[in-house]
């Protein structure tokens, strides 16, 4: 039965911290929009709250355990003790890199009725890591995947029964689109801050994501280097990370300072989408599950040029609502950008097609409904695990 005090199913999401990222954004959207009459969502941040915690609604309780970075063998025991206190009906973890090891083991030690683990794209590939991820997957009632392509990869890597893997694709808010006047005012402000003339006509290319090798922003910069003679090109890289210094050095050496701007971490990413003529996603093929950034851009009627990473082919219909290119294909990226620059009507048509495609297939409401059904069905089936561990 649900928690007797409120007759609601108590769901505790476990993450390292609510940093700015697609996975974290999805968890926040899910928790904020669950049916409050049936569910009581909570978030356990193992290491820190993170910048995106401010986006949580008041109905979502957040716990910050403040564990330091690095290995901590007793962390699962501490999580077990924490779960014993808050008594969740379901623990929902979110991938190896976000403390799923601690959450899954802790939940089983605490005899939590249902344990779910969501995989969002990145699977660690060292032999011992694969072994541990397999073990953890077999300890869960269900493994969740954000795309059909990722499900196939999980099944292959972890040798799981496909019935134990559920696909719930990401969804985004469709109606939360800024008006044209609001978007223009924000665009003028950004251009003024960059010391650019707002009255000039720019072809604005957007890139949103952590500045790290898996996101491969260098591919975009090398393509821009080839076409920099088109002086109306403006590239906005939104995000931060370990590759920032390398990217800054390349921008300076390639004399792209007047075309490419590193905007840093932005909590208001949604405001930037209407600025873009096109979004470019250059992720390496096996490092994406289903990109929230691509979905959000498409919801804003922005066509996308993306590398054919896991999940992207489920969003982009090549030459219909965007372009797919092979990973590291600089010539293809260059030619697709130049095509959009000289074909504004096709660009607009692809943008409209992108919006309609996301509205019909990847709405936030659809995603929420599927998670709610999963939670209800999983809890009603209950778990066959019955650890009795005293903490």
pLDDT greater at residue 391 or residue 231:
231
For the stretch 177-203, pLDDT in tens is 666 778 889 999 999 999 999 999 999
Q: In this structure, are 206 and 154 located in the same domain?
A: no
- 328 and 370 in a single domain? The answer is no
Q: How far is CA 341 from CA 195, 203, 330, in A?
A: 23, 7, 17
Q: Mean pLDDT throughout 167-186? A: 84
Instruction: Give the chain's end-to-end CA distance (angstroms, integer).
Output: 23
The count of structural domains within the chain is 2
Same domain membership, residue 348 and residue 223: yes
Residues 155 and 136 in one domain: yes
Whether residue 3 lies inside any domain: the answer is no
Same domain for 343 and 209: yes
Residues 193 and 318 in one domain: yes
Residue 390 lies in a domain: no
Q: For the CA atoms of 283, 20, 123, 294, what is the dihedral angle to 10 degrees?
A: -40
pLDDT per position as a tens digit, 260-280: 999 999 988 889 999 999 999
| Residue 4 covered by a domain | no
| 19 lies in the same domain as 59 | yes
What confidence tier does 99 reach under pLDDT thresholds 50, 70, 90?
A: confident
CATH code, domain with 44:
3.40.50.2000
210 inside domain: yes
Residue at 165 is within a domain? yes
Question: In the prediction, which pLDDT does 236 show?
Answer: 97
Confidence of residue 129 (pLDDT cuts 50, 70, 90): confident
- Asked whether residue 80 falls in the same domain as residue 221, the answer is no
Q: Is residue 158 part of a domain?
A: yes
Q: Which single residue is written with the structure tokens 């590939």?
A: 125
Do 148 and 101 belong together in one domain?
Answer: yes
* Together in a domain, 185 and 163: no
336 shares its domain with 310 = yes
Kindly indicate the confidence band of residue 385, based on its pLDDT and cuts at 50, 70 and 90: very low
Pair of tokens at residue 27: 């968890």
Looking at the fold, whether 53 and 106 belong to one and the same domain comes out as yes
Is residue 267 domain-resident?
Answer: yes
Range of the domain at 141: 9-171+364-381
Is it the case that residue 388 has pLDDT exceeding 70? no
Q: What is the mean pLDDT of residues 235-257?
A: 96
């Amino acid at each position: 039965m649900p928690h007797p005090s409120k007759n609601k199913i108590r769901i505790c999401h476990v993450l390292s911290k609510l940093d700015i990222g697609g996975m974290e954004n999805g968890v926040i959207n899910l928790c904020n929009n669950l049916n409050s009459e049936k569910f009581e969502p909570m978030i356990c941040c193992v290491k820190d709250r993170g910048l995106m915690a401010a986006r949580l609604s008041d109905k979502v309780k957040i716990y910050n355990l403040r564990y330091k970075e690095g290995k901590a063998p007793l962390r699962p025991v501490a999580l077990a003790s924490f779960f014993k206190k808050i008594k969740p009906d379901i623990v929902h973890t979110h991938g190896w890199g976000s403390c799923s090891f601690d959450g899954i083991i802790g939940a089983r030690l605490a005899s939590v009725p249902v344990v779910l683990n969501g995989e969002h794209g990145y699977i660690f590939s060292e032999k011992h890591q694969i072994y541990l991820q397999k073990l953890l997957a077999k300890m869960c009632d269900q493994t969740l995947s954000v795309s059909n392509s990722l499900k196939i990869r999980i099944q292959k890597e972890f040798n799981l029964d496909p019935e134990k893997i559920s696909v719930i694709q990401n969804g985004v808010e469709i109606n939360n689109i800024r008006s044209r006047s609001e978007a223009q005012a924000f665009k003028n402000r950004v251009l003024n801050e960059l010391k650019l003339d707002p009255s000039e006509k720019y072809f604005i290319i957007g890139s949103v994501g952590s500045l790290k090798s898996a996101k491969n922003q260098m591919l975009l910069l090398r393509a821009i280097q080839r076409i920099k003679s088109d002086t109306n090109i403006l590239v906005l890289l939104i995000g931060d990370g370990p590759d920032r210094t390398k990217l800054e050095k390349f921008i300076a050496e390639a004399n792209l300072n007047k075309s490419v701007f590193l905007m840093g971490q932005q909590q208001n990413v949604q405001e930037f989408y209407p600025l873009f003529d096109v979004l470019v996603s250059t992720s390496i093929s096996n490092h994406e599950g289903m990109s929230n950034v691509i979905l959000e851009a498409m919801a804003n009627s922005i066509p996308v040029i993306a590398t054919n990473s896991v999940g992207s082919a489920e969003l982009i219909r090549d030459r219909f609502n965007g372009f797919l290119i092979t990973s590291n294909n600089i010539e293809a990226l260059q030619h697709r950008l130049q095509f959009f620059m000289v074909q504004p009507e096709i660009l607009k048509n692809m943008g409209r097609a992108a919006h309609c495609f996301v509205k019909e297939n990847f709405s936030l409401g659809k995603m929420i409904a599927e998670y709610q059904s999963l939670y209800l069905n999983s809890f009603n089936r209950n778990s066959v695990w019955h650890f009795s561990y005293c903490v």
